[in-house]
Copies of this chain bind each other. A is one copy, B any other.
Amino acid sequence: MNAPAAAHHLLPEFHPQPVPQALLDALAARFGAQCSTALAVREQHGRDEGSIQAPPPAAVVFAENTQDVADAIRLAGAHGVPVIPYGAGSSLEGHLLAVQGGISIDVGRMNRVLSVNADDLTVTVQPGITRKQLNEAIKDTGLFFPIDPGADASIGGMAATRASGTNAVRYGTMRENVLALEAVTASGEVIHTGTRAKKSAAGYDLTRLLVGSEGTLGIMTEITVRLYPLPEAVSAAICSFPSIEAAVRTVIQTIQLGVPIARVELIDANTVRMVNAHSKLTLREEPMLLMEFHGTPAGVQEQAETVQELAGEQGGNAFEWATTPEERTRLWTARHNAYFAAVQSRPGCRAISTDTCVPISRLADCLLDSVAEADASGIPYFLVGHVGDGNFHFGYLIDPNDAQEREKAEALNHQLVARALRLGGTCTGEHGVGIHKMGFLLDETGAGAVEMMRAIKRALDPQNILNPGKIFAL
């Protein structure tokens, strides 16, 4: 990095407060075998898929219902001790790290489908169900839940981080797809927000306030999300391009024309190589778009023809089609494993993921300059992107024991975020702020908006016990 990071970009030091024995005794009395202080259990609940480490929580409560969550929060609150919700552990920004100490509330056992309302295209679930479990549970309804962040995340975790992923270009993010919530507040009270109606103007949008609040304003215990009819026809296609720029320009025009493409993912040549090695595929090792079209048979054909024409103008090859569900699954699994493929390409490495998202017309500017910087740095990386939304991820593959490499990677990330913000974008399209992006959030919104967030946090959680130390410093 050319200049030292501004103070607000430095990671805060973690000073976990010890948890009083009296609370551990009270939890043991209330929860019995549902509460564990075993080190292995605590360590499992004290890390995520990101690159930051912190001491584990002092105990883990395995909640089985809303009352369990409420009681755990009340007991912790009585001792002023933090509580951190835990779903599938797949977050990337340190969301579930016990940076101020406290206890973890694992909602993994709360994984039931509470009601399928197929006629209304809604389903109400507990927070611990994963997206794959949900789709498996509703597969006989002719409906599906489209949000797909890659990892088999829990619906609660996805709501809490405002997740999205490959299908968001067509179906939106958790912001658009969560209709209603039950949540437990900092005082242990159970509240309900939203209804199953598709729209509402009934007061403050508490549903949207809780979605993306990363467990800092309440712990979700029931979530109602929208479902969609399984499309009559689905086609997936691969298209290789002579350059990243050519691929990106094709995407920009596709979006500007309003083609309702369901998925459009960019994978750069080097990442295709990693994916081939990991998933035993023989994809052409060039910049690639992986696309999916949903609709009626005629509609899908029409969409694909339009995009093929745009791609052809940019020098894209003829589409290669994945027509059977099995072929499609194989392709998308390979895409979703890009992260693991990349990490395996450099044994012992950790990935530092970026998550910028820019207005669609700025995608090429943002991406190409950042590719040039990453190439110049000499740090190996992967590059994938939900480019239809203007969102992409570099993963810098660093040796975690090499401070210089980490610093270089963080510098690349800083330059990329600064560029995205200059271009009217955001530091995080879908991973959330967590610990890692608190400084970027300030850069992005300015102090006024962050101060408003802090005021809301203080009002709703005066003791600061709900996942403290995330999103902003208090």
Judge if A185 is at the interface, Cβ distance under 8 Å: yes
Which residues on B sit within 8 Å (CB–CB) of A172? 176
In the complex, the answer to whether B472 meets A195 with C-beta atoms within 8 Å is no
Closest CB in chain B relative to A240 CB, distance in Å: 25
Bits for A175-195, please: 1 = Cβ < 8 Å to B, else 0.
110000000010001111101
Indicate if the CB atoms of B441 and A203 lie closer than 8 Å.
yes
A427-B191 in contact given A120-B360, A209-B209 (Cβ < 8 Å): no
> Which of A71-79, A274-282, A294-302, A337-345 lines the interface with chain B?
A294-302
Chain B: CB-nearest residue to A431: B201
Cα distance A208–B204 in the bound complex, in angstroms: 8
Contact B459 A458 (CB under 8 A): yes
User: Quick check: A117 and B359 within 8 Å, CB to CB?
Assistant: yes
What's the Cα separation between A445 and B181 when bound, in Å?
11
Query: When the two chains form their complex, are residues A202 and B441 in contact, meaning their CB atoms are under 8 A apart?
Result: yes
The reply to whether the CB of A119 lies closer than 8 angstroms to some CB of chain B is: yes
A464 at the interface (CB under 8 A from B): no
Asked if B201 contacts A429 (CB within 8 A), the reply is yes
* A29 close to chain B: CB less than 8 A: no
Q: Which of A172, A175, A185, A460 has the most CB of B within 10 A?
A: A175
Q: Give bound CA distance, A299 to B357, whole Å.
A: 31
**Pairwise interchain contact A429-B200, C-beta atoms closer than 8 A:** yes
Chain B contacts for A362, CB-based, 8 A = 120
Interface size class on chain A is: 35 or more
A428 to B206, CA, bound (A): 15
A66 interface residue (CB < 8 Å to B): no
Closest residue of chain B to A229, judged by CB?
B258
Contacts of A432 in B (CB 8 A): 201
10 contacts between A and B (CB under 8 A): A121-B256, A164-B199, A196-B359, A201-B355, A201-B426, A201-B430, A202-B427, A204-B217, A205-B209, A299-B302
Q: Nearest-CB distance from A204 to chain B (Å)?
A: 5
Q: How far is the CB of A259 from chain B (nearest CB, A)?
A: 9
A206 and B162 in contact, given A425-B196, A456-B456 (Cβ under 8 angstroms) = no
Which among A122, A201, A257, A441 has the highest number of chain B CB atoms within 10 Å?
A201
* Chain B residues whose C-beta falls within 8 Å of the C-beta of A389 in the assembled complex: 197-199
Query: Across chains A and B, which 4 residue pairs bring their CB atoms closest together, nearest first?
Result: A459-B459, A119-B361, A208-B208, A191-B448
B119 pairs with A472, CB closer than 8 A: no
Query: CB distance A358 to B197 under 8 Å?
Result: yes
Task: Tell me the minimal C-beta distance from A361 to chain B in angstroms.
Answer: 3
Which chain B residue lies CB-closest to A232? B258
